[in-house]
């Protein structure tokens, strides 16, 4: 069997949070194209259902949509149970849901801080633990968390201390769980994208001035594309990455190299 065949995900089951659009939609698409059955998990259930229908028709895989608030433990536990029930198991997940609030630290409200930390870090913890418990009891699996290059650098010119702190926390959570579960068959890794040009990002009037600055600073002179994260996530979800755990893979066009 060649390497391309080895990297396929035929027969595997998984879910992606924040998958109705953007990066999550791209990785869910890649998982389905590689042969996996996938749950599209998002708060926006209408958009999630559209994405699920689109991917099912495109790939021929079983793709379902589940509305979930990833900061609510009961909803997260119920989501994992539904994935297992409807797809027939859980072999991998990509915990990708997140938000960013740009506000100077001295002006940021405590509620804004808590919202970012709750979604970006606590939400990852809840989905990691819910998925991890199932995987520990059923022979193992792979967990992928979305961190950010913002865990490694302080972004400029926008002020985003809560986002940066939350993403640094995701990496340390990833490494901590990887150590705890290394001998028990569950691998935990993170990806740290740089600036990624999703449809929403590229069409945001408030971000256009920032995008121009980011591109000026970027060694490659551009933002990344969501699809440039797909192959890494397929690799991490599959059986060719069985010795990869506790890793944070930076995909940023060398932005953090200076």
Active site residues: 148, 163, 167
Rounded Cα gap, residues 255 and 258, in angstroms: 7
Strands (E), the chain: 13-17, 37-42, 63-67, 92-95, 141-146, 186-193, 248-251
Residue by residue, DSSP assigns 205-247 as TTTHHHHHHHHHH-TTSS-B-GGGGHHHHHHHHSGGGTT--S-
Angle at 80 between CA 78 and CA 85, to 5 degrees: 90
The residue among 43, 38, 48, 40 whose CA lies nearest residue 11 is 38
Q: Element (H or E) spanning 252, and its range? A: none
Q: What are phi and psi of 144, to 5 degrees?
A: -120, 125
Q: Which residues pair with 204 in a beta bridge?
A: none
Tokens of 243: 């010795």
Confirm if 223 and 196 have CB atoms less than 8 A apart.
Answer: yes
Q: Are 88 and 10 in contact (CB under 8 A)?
A: no
């Amino acid at each position: 069997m060649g390497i391309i065949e080895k990297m396929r995900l035929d027969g595997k089951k998984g879910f992606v949070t924040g998958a109705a659009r953007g990066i999550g939609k791209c990785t869910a698409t890649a998982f389905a194209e590689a042969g996996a059955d996938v749950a599209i998990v998002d708060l926006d259930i209408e958009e999630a259902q559209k994405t699920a229908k689109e991917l099912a028709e495109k790939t021929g895989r079983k793709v379902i949509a589940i509305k979930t608030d990833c900061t609510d433990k009961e909803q997260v536990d119920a989501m994992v149970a539904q994935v297992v029930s409807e797809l027939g198991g859980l072999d991998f997940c990509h915990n990708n849901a997140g938000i960013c609030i740009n506000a100077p630290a001295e002006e940021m409200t405590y509620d804004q801080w808590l919202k970012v930390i709750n979604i970006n870090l606590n939400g990852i913890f809840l989905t990691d633990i819910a998925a991890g418990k199932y995987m520990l009891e059923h022979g193992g699996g792979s967990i992928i968390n979305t961190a950010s290059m913002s865990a490694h650098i302080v972004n400029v010119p926008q002020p985003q201390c809560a986002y940066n702190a939350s993403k640094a926390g995701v990496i340390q959570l990833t490494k901590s769980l990887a150590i705890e579960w290394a001998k028990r068959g569950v691998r935990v890794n993170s990806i740290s994208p740089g600036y990624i040009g999703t449809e929403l990002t590229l069409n945001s009037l408030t971000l256009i001035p920032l995008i121009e600055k980011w591109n000026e600073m970027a060694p490659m002179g551009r933002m990344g594309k969501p699809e440039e994260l797909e192959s890494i996530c397929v690799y991490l979800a599959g059986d060719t990455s069985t010795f990869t755990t506790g890793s944070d893979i930076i995909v940023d066009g060398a932005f953090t190299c200076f």
